[in-house]
Amino acid sequence: MLYSSLRSRRHQAVSEPSSPALPPPMARFGFSIRTRSGVLIENLAIPGVSAEEAERKLRQIYMGCSVIARFVPEAVVGVLPGRRQP
């Protein structure tokens, strides 16, 4: 009797987990930067919800860098490298 009452309380306390909210779609933003040591890095792609967020992530990775250019790379349409078309 005691066991069944504890078991029913335990099942009442546990609720079904709600489905997690979908994160906003992320795009890839392209950058050309110069690192603090002077190395030029072109066509560096960083994912982000906005260009500002992508640049914030970039500055966390490459501290002290200077951004030379910022662009949104176009979506690649067609065959992936190394794959044949049927």
Tens-level pLDDT at each residue, the chain (86 residues): 555 555 555 555 555 556 678 777 888 999 999 999 999 999 999 999 999 999 999 999 999 999 999 998 766 554 445 555 55
Q: Quick check: is 13 in a domain?
A: no
Q: Quick check: is 15 in a domain?
A: no
Q: Quick check: is 85 in a domain?
A: no
Q: Quick check: is 11 in a domain?
A: no
Strands in 40-48's sheet, in edge-to-edge order, are 40-48, 27-34, 66-71
Q: How many domains does the chain have?
A: 1
